[in-house]
Chain A
Amino acid sequence: MPFGLLKFGLKKNYPGNHRFTPANKALKNHYDVVIIGAGGHGMAIAYYLVKYHGVRNIAVLDKGYLGGGNTARNTAVIRSNYLTEEGVTFYRESVRLFQDLSNEFGFNIMMENRGQLTLAHNDAAIRSFRWRAEVNQHLGVRSELVDRKTIRELVPDLNLSEEARYPIIAGLWHADGATARHDAVVWGYARGACARGVELHQLTEVQDITVTRGKVTAVETNRGRVECGCAVQSVAGTSSVLGMKAGIRLPIHSYPLQAMVTQSYKPVLTPHISSPQLHVYLHQTSRGEVVIGGGTDPYPLYNTRSTLEQKESLAAAVIELFPYLSQVRVMRQWAGITDMTPDYSPIMGLSPVKNYYLDAGWGTWGFKATPICGKTMAELVATGKVPTLIQPFELERFYRFEQINEAGATAASH
């Protein structure tokens, strides 16, 4: 085995199939299912539809390239320590599917069970953590309130000084917390879907959606008109803009979320760390880079520009938690547009337009839901029935004033 590895290392062309590049095909004028958005979610829906429901005539359209939107921009956190019963149950299933995804694909998504530690700097946070831990344990998710001594054992390098601006007084330890290579997840789904006949069309932008007598019948693209039996909206960052093309107004505001990553260093940090009070979360990747993210920008914007204020605030928070990181260099920074809903829960299921399905409002919690969202949305498209797991997340909930108030949604802003 070591010699085999050495041979791979010295070869000019790596012989493994390490990424997925779809073949270019002509766009047909009709598909049974058109999925708009070739991110993790869109490809997962296509994958489960073709593999488990036998729906073959599927096109996935993307204005950019495979996995080039928020699938590439998220910070790859997988966890299920939410607060509402609906949220915990949904994300618990997602974590379970993630655990088996490499086997499902025959392709390594580099799933790593690192655990996640959320920090409390005040009494109110402890109360909310205790509540979350109780709800999680009741639903079979591993979460527990931990004291400073346990925190020191879990993360020896964390600054537990009582002289800090916001001293750490307790934590919520989530042993199920994990990370995976986000690109590999979308490539795995795309490879599996395309091998079974799904067509993936990149650089194919949906410019308009034709609704006839309350039912979606076709989409207009830059490559021509495509008729469809049904359509699934599965985009992130432009949910409202796309929804309006179908005449659907959504309860979404789009905000940028800025993140950054340092140069690679030796492994020093195993779990994910997040601090709601400092508006920051971070973890060290298996490549050694420290990935740092935080809360969203203070006002809505469709622009992935960066601001010094936000970067400075992330850096200040990280240095408070890990003073030794003060000398590390930031290697890259970026932003993604997050479609925030009023209750911090996604919008999945039926829409006011018949045969037009919504997979929207994924704010800062989209990557971790990729497998379960794909599985349940595929079931909805194939059977026309809304699976129990996603019923609470339908758009209608806002008209009934039955929000799923997910205060455990964003690791940074609650």
Chain B
Amino acid sequence: MKILNCPLNGPRNILEFSYGGEFHPMPDPSRCGSKEWAEYIYFAENQAGLVTEWWYHLASSYWFLAQRNTITDEIVRTFEVNEVFSERVEFSTQPEGDQNNG
């Protein structure tokens, strides 16, 4: 059994967690171009080595970040998102110039 150390729930079986993708700063979907958006949602670094990525604890609906070595399969460190985000990120919900279309 592989153990992942959850910042909220402590060491748990890795099967309790779901991989959530590489950590990249998200562009504002209503302001960025379609190329930038395509790269954000489809393209990946997919690095062999140390990576930072999202993980999710299924039972407690808790998102956090982990540093993992994709060659040795070692989880080096897990940490809470407030290490990266100091404040809430707000995105506009409507595309630029489209505010009046209701």
Interface residues of A (CB under 8 A from B): 238, 240-241, 249-254, 298-303, 305, 307-309, 342, 398-399, 401
Contact = CB atoms under 8 A, between A and B. Distances in A.
A250 B46 contact: yes
Contacts of A307: 2
A399 B15 CA distance: 34
B43 interface: yes
Interface in B33-63: 34-35, 38-39, 41-48
Interface of B: 1-2, 14-15, 18-19, 34-35, 38-39, 41-48, 70-73
A311 to B, nearest CB: 13
B49 to A, nearest CB: 8
A301 B46 contact: no
B19 A303 contact: no
22 contacts: A240-B44, A249-B43, A249-B45, A250-B43, A250-B44, A251-B42, A251-B43, A298-B19, A300-B19, A300-B70, A302-B71, A303-B71, A303-B72, A305-B73, A309-B1, A342-B42, A398-B38, A398-B42, A399-B34, A399-B35, A399-B38, A401-B38
B15 to A, nearest CB: 7
B39 to A, nearest CB: 7
Contacts of A299: 19
A364 to B, nearest CB: 16
A301 B70 contact: yes
A213 to B, nearest CB: 22
A49 to B, nearest CB: 29
Interface of A, helix, strand, loop or mixed by DSSP: loop
Contacts of B46: 240-241, 250, 252-254, 300
Contacts of A254: 46
Given A251-B42, A300-B46, A401-B34, 20 more contacts: A238-B48, A240-B44, A240-B45, A241-B46, A241-B47, A249-B39, A249-B43, A250-B44, A252-B44, A252-B46, A253-B44, A301-B73, A302-B70, A303-B70, A303-B71, A309-B1, A309-B15, A342-B41, A398-B42, A399-B35
A100 to B, nearest CB: 37
A303 B49 CA distance: 11
A251 B41 CA distance: 9
A299 B34 CA distance: 28
A343 B67 CA distance: 27
A392 to B, nearest CB: 16
A305 B42 CA distance: 27
A398 B43 contact: yes
Contacts of B35: 399
B34 to A, nearest CB: 7
Contacts of B73: 301, 303, 305
Nearest to B18: A298
Contacts of A253: 44, 46
Contacts of B47: 240-241
A281 to B, nearest CB: 22
Contacts of A300: 19, 46, 70
A233 to B, nearest CB: 14
A247 to B, nearest CB: 13
A163 B14 CA distance: 31
Nearest to A341: B42
Contacts of B48: 238, 241, 302
Contacts of A342: 41-42
For B14, B42, B70, the residue with the greatest tally of chain A CB atoms inside 10 Å of its CB is B42
Kindly list the 3 A-B residue pairs having the minimum CB-CB distance in the complex, ordered from nearest: A240-B46, A299-B19, A251-B42
Contacts of A298: 14-15, 18-19
A401 B70 CA distance: 29
Contacts of B2: 307
